[in-house]
Structure 1
């Protein structure tokens, strides 16, 4: 089944973050209505769509699309799915710079889930998230957030954690908490796509552990209700998912990033990819840039027969088997993210990455220690 349908309305982005993984972000092209129609029709014709579907508009800055045109896209999608009695949830991940009252009206009308990409207070955010002329974007993002709040629109945040962030755990927590984010997600700066280096490569395990531990203590002391922190919640839920089973290793777990088409990613031209959404639009001569067909001509049945997709699926499965055999965190992770394995280890048939160590193992270890202390 399709868990997420990721649609790229445009590859263009109006800002120039230093760690961005997208290589085509100066391309101003945008999705056409006919391409959108083809995407929706192929999804509806498949046997992969349940009673609900989530569409994430991502892989570029969605808000560079004119608001009236975006409304047409939403109407087109809603009508097609509703005609088949399928409920649609729309989500947008935005840098927040282009939020206007017109966008707020659209968000309210279509009940869109909004995520803001912001790295914390100005001294953290403006280090990496800059305009194309090199200026910080913090003030513009905060103006957009002010508009969301004025319109009573809820929003979550995603912060990229770089080496610079590690000394400011309290400042980061206080910023998101005081600015009414209902959830915070933490993405360690990754080696991925266009971003071939990470400031975390030469950072000590102890420094990253201390950052997460301080953040977790602040989270616990806050009551863990007003603002959730995605990483800690995910591992709490994974560890406690079946409390009647004493040995968590006997429980099955599988990330939707390792099942073909659980995440179906489609670019503005209708080209189709799957597994990690970060793979769409990346360069790979071995895997045809991770494009396995085009929804203007190809059905899911055709995509499933693609030779490169079969090869990639086999490599991912082999890597998962190694993870299960070698990694003590497999039972709460399910095998990691294929994109990180490919870009760090140069093969999907591999195991540990920076993402594993710093986005999974450390926060999971902190959560486990907390639970052990609670039991005692």
Structure 2
């Protein structure tokens, strides 16, 4: 037998916290068991202790004959290339009521679905899924709630066709239009979760996420979250760069003051500038990692354990597509509205072009750096689109952040402060 290559060992006080990124198993090896742990590492085959059994149970010890990287590839291929079900990101409009400086949609046409595209989108769905197969939709934009009537129309027609038990949906929205009335209707339409962005306290947020009229949006978004978080699950995202990196603590305080903090999930994400890699406002990777670690240290309840991610992302999955308001098809939502990323349309179907081939052939286990990395099961090579853009891995997971997450989770379970 051998120790898994996907183990992460982290000292915590006088103990060792062991985490396996394939199984998501976490084991605290306490001080009195450290000698036993060392003995197992020295002579793994002769040791038959209870600790060894726990290590095997958590996939931290595996058979000598097991090629763990090939196992990852096996599971990934099964899920990526199966044809059952359909996973869609649909943008009913690219219009938006905000003018955010880091928006990736600069230079695209702000179109909205017409009746013809709605009908052809429904036909595309029916032609690519059987009634009893799973269908998942992420509503996207622009600001999708500006086209709520289209979301309603598409959903009502879809629910006439698919088994409602196999249907799920979520939405990415700026939150400005998310009234309680809309939240009630969304719940009826099986849109059970929403991601909303708050980029800091009012002064910072309103300087970055302005209404197209120039006004601020923070106060109304907070009210909307308060009025809808009991109906749908809400995740708050903070897009972090050099201009708002010091505002997180104040935002957290505001969420607590408004009795929202314990009713939502909050996380921070690094702002990228795909059009200008030298943008001075963009945080370096090590800087973002430090701010994220600090955030997780202060807000332990927002630590969610990283799990094996065989699908990588929708872009590399066989039955996952992005549909824009004109009915054009894409693999990645970062390419929406851009001709170079288009792979066909809902009327004529999919083209076998270079974009389809790139995402279909993307395979992180063939990358020497990824094969050796103990984060491979949860990172799977990082963002395929950014690798396509910059020719290098842009990892989903950073070891310092993963360690902070598992430390927070274990401390919570043990009742540590």
TM-score range (shorter-chain normalised) is: 0.7 to 0.9
CA 38–277 in structure 1, closer or farther in 2 if over 3 Å, else same: same
CA 361–340 in structure 1, closer or farther in 2 if over 3 Å, else same: farther
Which residue is equivalent to 1:245? none
Name the structure where helix makes up a greater proportion of residues: 1
Contact 1:15 1:131 in 2 (8 A): yes
Which residue is equivalent to 2:189? 110
Instruction: Give the 3-state SS of the residue equivalent to 2:124 in structure 1.
Output: helix
Unaligned runs of 5+ in 1: 239-251, 283-287
Name the structure where strand makes up a greater proportion of residues: 2
Question: Are 1:233 and 2:304 an aligned pair?
Answer: yes
Contact 1:10 1:59 in 2 (8 A): yes
1:134-149 residue pairs with structure 2 within 5 A? 134-148=214-228
**Count of matched residue pairs:** 326
Following TM superposition, by how much is the alpha carbon of 1:361 offset from its aligned partner in structure 2, in angstroms?
4.1
Contact 2:132 2:162 in 1 (8 A): no
Following TM superposition, by how much is the alpha carbon of 1:310 offset from its aligned partner in structure 2, in angstroms?
4.7
Which residue is equivalent to 1:95? 174
CA 316–40 in structure 1, closer or farther in 2 if over 3 Å, else same: same
Which residue is equivalent to 1:243? none
Which residue is equivalent to 1:210? 290
Question: Are 1:21 and 2:104 an aligned pair?
Answer: yes
Following TM superposition, by how much is the alpha carbon of 1:53 offset from its aligned partner in structure 2, in angstroms?
1.8
Cα displacement string for residues 32-84 of structure 1 (whole angstroms, at most 9, x for unaligned residues): 3442333333333336987322211103101112x4444222212221224xx
Following TM superposition, by how much is the alpha carbon of 1:196 offset from its aligned partner in structure 2, in angstroms?
5.4
TM-score normalised per structure 1: 0.73
Superposed CA RMSD: 3.4
Determine which of 262, 266, 269 is the counterpart of 2:323.
Answer: 266
Q: Distance in 2 between matches of 1:209 and 1:101?
A: 36
Contact 1:14 1:131 in 2 (8 A): yes
Q: Distance in 2 between matches of 1:48 and 1:337?
A: 30
Which residue is equivalent to 2:242? 163
Q: Distance in 2 between matches of 1:139 and 1:96?
A: 11
**Higher deviation after alignment, 331-340 or 12-21:** 331-340
Q: Distance in 2 between matches of 1:215 and 1:60?
A: 29
Which residue is equivalent to 1:321? 367
Contact 1:11 1:24 in 2 (8 A): no
Which residue is equivalent to 1:119? 199
CA 336–3 in structure 1, closer or farther in 2 if over 3 Å, else same: farther
Instruction: Give the 3-state SS of the residue equivalent to 1:64 in structure 2.
Output: helix
Q: Distance in 1 between matches of 2:369 and 2:188?
A: 44
Unaligned runs of 5+ in 2: 1-82
Contact 1:267 1:281 in 2 (8 A): yes
Following TM superposition, by how much is the alpha carbon of 1:326 offset from its aligned partner in structure 2, in angstroms?
6.0
CA 129–196 in structure 1, closer or farther in 2 if over 3 Å, else same: farther
Contact 1:161 1:189 in 2 (8 A): yes
Instruction: Give the 3-state SS of the residue equivalent to 2:344 in structure 1.
Output: coil
